[in-house]
Structure 1
Amino acid sequence: MREMLRLFLSVVIFSALAGGLLTALQNSTKDRIEYQQLLFVKGPAIMEILDGCTNDPLIDRFKLQDGETERSFFIGKFDGKPDTVAFETYGGGFGGDIGVMVAVNVETDKIVGIGVTTHSETPGIGSRAKTDKAFSRQFQGLDIAQTFKVKSDGGKVDAISGATVSSKGVATAVDAAGQIYQRLKSEIVKKMQA
């Protein structure tokens, strides 16, 4: 009986030490992991839609609380002034959620560009939502406050042939971005001017 108690205590102590070490390791690498994810997962879409900005939007960023969700915003400076903000939203696609980065000019409330960050869509079909530039370009210059739907649902967005569900997912994400932007615009502008 004594041996079992010793074994039990040894396992408990080892587990507590291992858990503590793993927690300390996670806390010490948290910021670096977040930056790596920004750089390699979201960064390409951010840099593409904020092409021509004079700053590094991956560094010039801030977070805002939106209800229970903390959102990251990336600032784009053009002609020396911060007038564009990019942030990520999600829409349901064929294979799961589609992450979409949406950039908005805060002076005109117009979409500067969109870019798909993450998806689980079918390669060569739904995945074209990320690579088809003509599909992405149709959002440029549109007012962020309008409703975004594909034409088959009564909207104005041309769906990618064979990838209607993926196209709907992107349109849904851009529509959600409009709602978030309208809700947080005053806070966004304050943070950008700080």
Structure 2
Amino acid sequence: MPSLTTAVIPPGTLNASVQPTLPVDGDLLLRPWSPSDAAAVVRVFQDPAIQHWHLRRADSEDEAREWIEQWRRGWENETACHWAVVDRGGDTLLGRVALHSVIMAGGQAEIAYWTAPRARGKGVCSRAVARVTNWALEHAGFHRLELGHSTANPASCRIAEKTGYSLEGVRRRALLHADGWHDMHLHARVREG
């Protein structure tokens, strides 16, 4: 059945090249994940704040390597784009930023992130989110990016506000966390023009 619209991002656009490494403000780097990041992922996921706001935990390096392999396949399949947020040398894991739930035909994705405890309060997350947002909207051809977070997570709300994601509303009881159902803020950025 023929489509009445043209895909915003034609299939094969992302995976026609390797996933880019994106420099951020001179001291950060967003790079594709490596299996060697597994131990650092396990350490980050021992943090109570990470466990509170996320739906899974990493109990072993093997499990973290499986996640990393899934994250890497997302680029190949054009379903997600995951980056490790690292120091400029590329060795110290500071966080993660990702575009997931990618819809190529509509040029849409959801942005997600976390920050390692050692990097919190230093602007690492907001700079990483801003960089991926710029790449997605200005270079990769995305039309709309959504950012969702629990209404009980003011730190995530500050990231959304700092990076220009407008609050569009509240999705009531939209996500089940370990402590019960959470209302979720829905923020979005749309490519202008």
Question: Same-fold call, TM > 0.5?
Answer: no
TM-score, with length taken from structure 1: 0.30
Structure having the higher strand fraction is 2
